[in-house]
Amino acid sequence: MSTRILIGGIGNVLLGDDAVGPYVTRLLESQYSFGDSVEIADLGTPALDLTHRIVGLDAVILIDCVAPCDHPPGTVLLLRKDDILSVQPAQRLDPHSPALSECIMTAEMLGVSPKDLLLVGIVGECFEPARPLSHAVHKAATRAVDAIIAHLERLRVPYEKSASNSTPSVWWSDPAPHQHAKSP
């Protein structure tokens, strides 16, 4: 029986740093190849339908931007299933609101939750519409990829590094020019 794994990027590519989840999935696809047991997907902005994506999988790695907190922008946080379940879900305003903890709780109650779940959270800085990734978050994407590869190694998932080691070119990934400018 083979291990079934989902690596999913969560986020809205139209809202600045919120696009980091989809960007990291593109980095992984451009720099590594995995066997048939690993699915890499841009999950967009899922709501309760995320439950259906994770049911019955052996392992799930989700990449998402997290709101500014006690950590500076670009900090990569690794949260396990127990970490996520220990936080009380926020009040949902509509059926499309993000619902990661609710989806995991539902899968747990049904007895179909992934055995291994990791959230790679990257602390965001800018969430303005039509903005690219901030410089700090763009730099953090590489560290997020490294964390994902390290986790896959712990799970003994085979992979190959691509010879080209290319970086995907997507309009929403390049850091805003003003963030590179140095003060006189």
CATH code for position 55: 3.40.50.1450
pTM: 0.86
Tens-place pLDDT, residues 137-165 = 999 999 999 999 999 999 999 999 987 76
Residue 15 per-residue DSSP state: S
Judge whether 46 lies within some domain. yes
Residue span of the structural domain in which 91 resides: 5-162+170-178
Judge whether 102 lies within some domain. yes
Of residues 14 and 176, more confidence is placed in 14
Separation between Cα atoms, residue 133 and residue 168, nearest integer Å: 14
Q: Report the candidate in 89, 179, 87 with the shortest Cα–Cα distance to residue 139.
A: 179
* pLDDT recorded at residue 181: 40
Contact in structure between 45 and 11 (CB atoms under 8 Å): yes
Q: Report the candidate in 53, 11, 5 with the shortest Cα–Cα distance to residue 154.
A: 5
Q: Is residue 66 pLDDT above 80, yes or no?
A: yes
Q: What is the mean pLDDT of residues 62-72?
A: 89
Q: Is residue 15 pLDDT above 50, yes or no?
A: yes
Judge whether 183 lies within some domain. no
Count of domains in the chain? 1
Say how many C-beta atoms besides its own lie within 10 A of residue 96's C-beta: 12
Residue with tokens 């539902």: 106
Contact in structure between 76 and 122 (CB atoms under 8 Å): yes
Percentage above 90 pLDDT, the chain = 56
Strand 76-80 and strand 59-66: the pairing is: unpaired
Judge whether 119 lies within some domain. yes
Residue with tokens 């919120």: 18
CA atoms within 13 A on the CB side of 183: 0
Judge whether 138 lies within some domain. yes
The confidence band for 109, taking pLDDT boundaries of 50, 70 and 90, is confident
Residue with tokens 């392992």: 59
Contact in structure between 43 and 8 (CB atoms under 8 Å): yes
Q: What is the mean pLDDT of residues 88-107?
A: 66
